[in-house]
């Protein structure tokens, strides 16, 4: 069967490609050549390698896989193919200079845009252009938290950290309480009507969810400080066996960027400066083990990913049963994200208080389920029933098997075109450099 031609898509594809590239360049433009290499640590890449990898990925899938072209850069595969180049080797490769890397990026994008001007896009081509765009968007978020990890200045995007914005300060506050979700049969996963779906979301399938209560908002810095101040990091009974082993191995005593201030207060390093923690911002840069230990301390639990997605997507009915076939694309409905609904696209370089953006509430009253901070769920990252691998084989399949946990919802640096209720993110449970927090469920 021939692939359907989509005549109206060229302008949209060109716009998203150029927008993603502009964001990438803005995220590294102020850094020195030394900062673009940085220290060799397991949780980051050298940024000079990473921006070259973005160009290679576009070239590999769009110009070579779809367009049948030849590599623009000699030895590009041996330099930038993340499936072939070991992580620790990326600092010692004979990488092109900053100028040459930027030129390579420019050449790849120019050829793609020129090609777009002379072809009719079909659904297969649109898929690979979207794949290249979303891949770059994900790395853009990684650049944001890499700058935090390495103590670089905040990225020159948006406005200063929302905790320092007077408007957010004045209107910020808690968002306490739970909402009741009636449970029922829920269709978990992505649906074919979405414009792009990663393979790990395929496809929506029925799951039975028992009634549950979930917090209206994520756990805040003030909430988490109570756990820390009550000796939460010194109490093995609050931790799983693997969690306590991680805590013992790392000697963790509090969230990674926290430090004691004068008296009993807590400070937090935000990029290259230190300031008091903002009580009503969601706690971020905590890993799955820390989230799980907090839940035990608070007599709560993490939601399963089915519970999380049901709370974000379903609608109540007069019979108090969630409609199994009624799924919202976003908590507020099917309209695309907007500033009054979700904190995305690095509008501020940091989180905002958990009580803001009531316009983004789910039908049940959960707030900020999209944007602000990723949220850990209880579940291992595993394939859905009937999983089939997509052409980008390294995206999901290598990470199944209980080594990674599922996160949902997106963060302040997540691009709005990427995220939706069914999107599945995944990290190992020890990662606390990423922009992740969590919300909790009642044990009842």
Tokens of 330: 């976003």
Please indicate, yes or no, if residue 125 is contained in any of the structural domains. yes
Separation between Cα atoms, residue 98 and residue 120, nearest integer Å: 34
End-to-end, the C-alpha distance of the chain in Å comes to: 52
Its domain, for residue 25, covers 10-149
Please indicate, yes or no, if residue 4 is contained in any of the structural domains. no
Please indicate, yes or no, if residue 1 is contained in any of the structural domains. no
What is the DSSP code string of 214-240?
A: EESSPPBHHHHHHHHHTTGGG-GGGS-
Within this chain, do residues 316 and 363 fall inside the same structural domain, yes or no? yes
Q: Is the dihedral of CA 253, 257, 260, 265 positive or negative?
A: negative
Please indicate, yes or no, if residue 406 is contained in any of the structural domains. yes
Sequence-separated (6 or more) residues with CB below 8 Å from residue 68: none
Within this chain, do residues 139 and 166 fall inside the same structural domain, yes or no? no
Tokens of 326: 């009624």
Within this chain, do residues 134 and 173 fall inside the same structural domain, yes or no? no
User: Contact at 8 Å (CB) between 346 and 412?
Assistant: yes
Separation between Cα atoms, residue 200 and residue 384, nearest integer Å: 7
Please indicate, yes or no, if residue 2 is contained in any of the structural domains. no
113: left (phi over 0), alpha (psi -120 to 50) or beta: alpha
Tokens 């993340």 belong to 82
Domain count for the chain: 2
Please indicate, yes or no, if residue 193 is contained in any of the structural domains. yes
Local confidence pLDDT in tens for the 444 residues of the chain? 334 445 558 999 999 999 999 999 999 999 999 999 999 999 999 999 999 999 999 999 999 999 999 999 989 999 999 999 999 999 999 999 999 999 999 999 999 999 999 988 999 999 999 999 999 999 999 999 999 999 999 999 876 554 444 455 567 999 999 999 999 999 999 999 999 999 999 999 999 999 999 999 999 999 999 999 999 999 999 999 999 999 999 999 999 999 998 877 999 999 999 999 999 999 999 999 999 999 999 999 999 999 999 999 998 875 555 444 479 999 999 999 999 999 999 999 999 999 999 999 999 999 999 999 999 999 999 999 999 999 999 999 999 999 999 999 999 999 999 999 999 999 999 999 999 999 999 998
């Amino acid at each position: 069967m021939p692939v359907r031609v989509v005549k109206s898509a060229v302008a949209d594809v060109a716009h998203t490609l150029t927008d993603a590239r502009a964001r990438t360049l803005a995220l590294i433009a102020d850094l020195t050549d030394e900062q673009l290499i940085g220290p060799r640590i397991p949780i980051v890449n050298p940024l000079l390698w990473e921006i070259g990898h973005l160009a290679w990925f576009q070239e590999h899938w769009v110009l070579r896989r779809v367009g049948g072209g030849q590599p623009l850069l000699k030895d590009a595969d041996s330099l930038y193919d993340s499936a072939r180049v070991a992580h620790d080797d990326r600092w010692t490769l004979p990488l092109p200079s900053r100028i040459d890397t930027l030129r390579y990026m420019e050449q790849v994008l120019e050829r793609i845009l020129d090609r777009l001007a002379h072809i009719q896009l079909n659904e297969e081509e649109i898929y690979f252009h979207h794949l290249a765009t979303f891949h770059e968007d994900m790395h853009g978020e990684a650049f944001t938290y890499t700058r935090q990890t390495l103590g670089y200045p905040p990225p020159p995007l948006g406005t200063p950290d929302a905790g320092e914005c007077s408007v957010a300060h004045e209107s910020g506050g808690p968002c306490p309480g739970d909402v009741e979700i009636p449970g029922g049969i829920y269709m978990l996963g992505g649906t074919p009507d979405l414009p792009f779906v990663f393979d790990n979301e395929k496809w929506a399938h029925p799951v039975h969810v028992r009634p549950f209560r979930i917090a209206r908002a994520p756990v805040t810095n003030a909430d988490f400080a109570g756990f820390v101040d009550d000796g939460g990091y010194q109490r093995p009974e609050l931790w799983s066996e693997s969690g306590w082993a991680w805590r013992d191995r790392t000697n963790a005593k509090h969230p990674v960027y926290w430090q004691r201030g004068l008296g009993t207060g807590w400070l937090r390093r935000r990029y290259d400066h230190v300031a008091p923690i903002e009580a009503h911002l969601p706690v971020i840069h905590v890993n799955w083990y820390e989230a799980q230990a907090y839940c035990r301390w608070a007599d709560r639990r993490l939601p399963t990913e089915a519970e999380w997605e049901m709370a974000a997507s379903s609608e109540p009915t007069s019979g108090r049963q969630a409609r199994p076939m009624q799924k919202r694309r976003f908590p507020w409905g099917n309209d695309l994200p907007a500033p009054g609904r979700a904190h995305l696209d690095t509008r501020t370089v940091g989180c905002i208080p958990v009580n803001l953006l009531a316009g983004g509430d789910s039908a049940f009253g959960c707030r900020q389920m999209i944007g602000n901070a990723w949220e850990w769920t209880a579940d291992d990252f595993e394939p859905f029933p009937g999983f089939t691998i997509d052409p980008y084989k390294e995206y999901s399949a290598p990470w199944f098997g209980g080594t990674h946990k599922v996160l949902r919802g997106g963060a302040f640096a997540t691009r709005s075109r990427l995220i939706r209720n069914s999107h599945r993110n995944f990290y190992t449970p020890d990662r606390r450099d990423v922009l992740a927090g969590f919300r909790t469920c009642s044990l009842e």
